[in-house]
Amino acid sequence: MINEIAIIGNPNVGKTSLFNILTGTKQYVANWPGVTVEKKVGSFKYNDKNFRLVDLPGIYTLSAQSEDERVARDYFLNEIPNFVIVVADALNLERSMYLLIQIMEMEIPVILAINSIDEAEEKGKIINPEIISKTLNIPVILTSAKNQIGIDKLLNEIIKLSNNTKNLKYFIKYPEEINDFLDSFISESKKFDSLKNYNNKWLGINFLEFEEKNFDYPENLVKKLKSTHDMKDLKELFFNWKFGFIRNIVDSSVISKGRDWSLRDVLDHVLTHKVLGLLIYIIALFMVFSLTFNIASPLSDLLDIGFSSLGNWISSFIKIPWLNSLIVDGIIAGVGGVLVFIPQIFVLFFFMGFLEESGYLPRAAFLVDKIVRKFGLSGRSFMSIILGFGCNVPAIMSTKTVSNKKERMALILSIPFASCSARLPVYILLISAFFSKNSATIMLIIYLSSILLVLLSAKLIQKFITQTENIPFTIELPRFRMPTIKNLLFYTWNKGKHFLEKAGGIILIATILIWFLSYFPASNNINSSYAAQIGKFFEPITSHLGWDWRVNTGLVFGVAAKEIVVSSYSTLFNASGDSLIMNLRNSLSPASAMALIFFILGYVPCFATLGIIKSETGSWKWTFFTFFYTTLIAYLLANIVYYIGGMFL
């Protein structure tokens, strides 16, 4: 028999870290809210018992106002687990208790894991778990997912609970008026068949908290309850009692509150200052880009020399012309042309990982909240934009944390303008060719332009397609933490490995296809090849930007994945590394190159992103809209950059 355990908690309390420790998996863990937007499932075995562990989104309540809260609520309503591990934050214990009580009210057996106990003890905060355990009659464990403290105790409690869940009952003593209402609700709700599969007592409590907003109650039941009870007074009584109950538990179990201020708190005030904080944020990004180019360029040069030597060596003994061209000019030049940028990509992710793991990036969301609000978005949306710098697919999925549906739709359709890492090799190639003296500055301009493009797009979409309304924004800033090397390496590998996977899959296939189209029908005459015909078809609308058919053909193939633009140019220009850079300089002006960079920044997202837009919107209409809308915006942007930027280049 397999026991199913759910693990849940507020955002950023370390529940996914505990999930990874228990299951041995490596789910992505970030130091900000909204990382787990859908439930994840793993399994583990302990003391010869098998367990299925379900990692639910980080939420504060089961109110189901946002998509991730709805995922959690529906899970508990429809797939009741054997028991639940509620993860609480030792430094914000009171905030975590509301969700704990809500889970207990569903009469599901619970283990409370108070996490980050090491950080609480560093500040002198001491918690007595026994007091909470005796008050609520539940197992309470002090843990630290970061340093793997209390894991054995947690596993032992899991075993104990798995042996004895049927007889466990948790009774919460409500005020008499609340009990009377619940008795009335249970009596009335039994008359409706649509409610017979649910816990009627919990439905009654849920109605007290959210009325008909959180569940599809029968209309007659709602009318009956509202006609016989003063719901406003009952609701006020209920919340006063519940928060008082939680406060008493926390006050009695926290032996020492510790220090109020620490160096981290002082640092927090400086970095979240509305002027100084923004300045520091821009400087931090500039330093990241500068380090990316300075550290990684020598490694890229070595890789370039290696691929060139490999091509020359293989070319010396393959005598069949077409096969020689396929291997050397197609596969090695094409795939190698992308792989030489692996050092820059890994270095960039390493430093971005440092900013993210340390808890700095969520503060950026806090800093820009007032700014992005003018574009109809909230700071929470800004976190999705930052996630989009890695990959647009998880960024779009993360919009589930945005409770406002209109804001979410505008964000889904605008996130493709967030410059994902797949575009990075193209930027690096063109910057190395034309703007190497100001590489970090150009990269910073590209990323800031990307953010501005997302914001303007969201504003535009909300103005013409949806209506704008005020959006509340609350965020629990994660604490500053010094990232461990292990976590940074995992983060870097987790982000960067997709390039290696793509190089062995879609980029390799695309490279062979591009070679075929550029080699045939007349071998050794690329100007009359199929690829040339594709590129020349678009020349009437791109020639004024200084783009020839080779540039156009690369962009066409880049629709599948942006890295393919680089491998296409390696094949079509018949060069890689420094030779490709020289050929690009001979074919493009700096203004043409800058226009090309901004076109790539905005034009149609990859197939995977289009697929997730279809999935999240449930509509082909929005998918096709994104395809044409982003391309049109990118084309306009390229023209603006070419004619205005060209005056300064």
Q: Is 535 annotated as a binding residue?
A: no
Residue type, 285: L
Rounded Cα gap, residues 517 and 521, in angstroms: 8
To the question of whether residue 24 is assigned a binding role by annotation, the answer is yes
Q: Is 11 annotated as a binding residue?
A: yes
C-alpha of 142 from chain center = 29
Q: What are the b/e assignments for 576-590, b being 16+ CB within 10 Å?
A: bbeebbebbeebbeb
- CB contact at 8 A, 12 and 95: no
- The rounded Cα 379 to chain-centroid distance in angstroms is 14
From 110, 260, 248, 71, select the one nearest 173 (Cα to Cα): 248
23 known ligand binder: yes
**38 marked as part of a ligand binding site:** yes
Query: Residue 68 annotated as binding?
Result: no
**Contacts of range 464-470, beta carbons closer than 8 Å, 24 or more positions apart:** 465/409, 465/410, 466/406, 466/409, 466/410, 467/406, 468/376, 468/406, 469/404, 469/406
| 10 is annotated as contributing to ligand binding | yes
105 annotated among ligand-binding-site residues: no
To the question of whether residue 14 is assigned a binding role by annotation, the answer is yes
Q: Is 115 annotated as a binding residue?
A: yes
The radius of gyration of the chain from alpha carbons, rounded to an integer in Å, stands at: 28
605 is in an annotated binding site: no
Annotation-wise, does 623 bind a ligand? no
How far is it, in rounded angstroms, from Cα 17 to Cα 151?
Answer: 11
- Is 168 annotated to bind ligand? no
Which residue's structure tokens are 């950023």? 12
58 appears as a binding residue in the annotation:
yes
Alpha-helix runs per DSSP H in 316-378 = 321-324, 333-339, 342-357, 360-367, 369-373
What amino acid occupies position 575?
A
CA dihedral 493, 496, 502, 507 (to 10 degrees): -140
Please name the helix (run of DSSP H) or strand (run of DSSP E) that holds residue 45, with its range, or none.
strand 40-46
Which stretch of DSSP H or E encloses residue 487?
helix 485-503
118 marked among binding-site residues: yes
Is there a contact between 580 and 565 (Cβ–Cβ < 8 Å)? no
Check whether 57 is labelled as a binding-site residue.
yes
| 163 known ligand binder | no
Alpha carbons 337 and 215: distance in angstroms, whole number: 55
Residues contacting residue 602 through CB under 8 Å, at least 6 positions apart: 417, 453, 630, 631, 633, 634, 637
Rounded to whole angstroms, how far apart are CA atoms 552 and 319? 32
Q: Is 553 annotated as a binding residue?
A: no
36 is in an annotated binding site: yes
Is 222 annotated as ligand-binding?
no
**Cα separations in angstroms, 628 against 20, 559, 602, 609:** 41, 12, 11, 14
54 among annotated binding-site residues: no
Buried b / exposed e along 424-456 (16+ C-beta atoms within 10 A): bbbbbbbbbbbbeeebbebbbbbbebbbebbbe
DSSP for 105-140 reads HTT--EEEEEE-HHHHHHTTEEE-HHHHHHHHTS-E
Given a contact cutoff of 8 angstroms between Cβ atoms, the answer to whether 172 and 105 are in contact is: yes
Cα–Cα distance measured from residue 641 to residue 217, given in angstroms and rounded to the nearest whole number: 56
Q: Which residues are annotated as a binding site for GTP?
A: 9-16, 34-38, 55-58, 115-118
Binding site for Mg(2+), residues?
Answer: 20, 23-24
| Residues in the annotated binding site | 9-16, 20, 23-24, 34-38, 55-58, 115-118
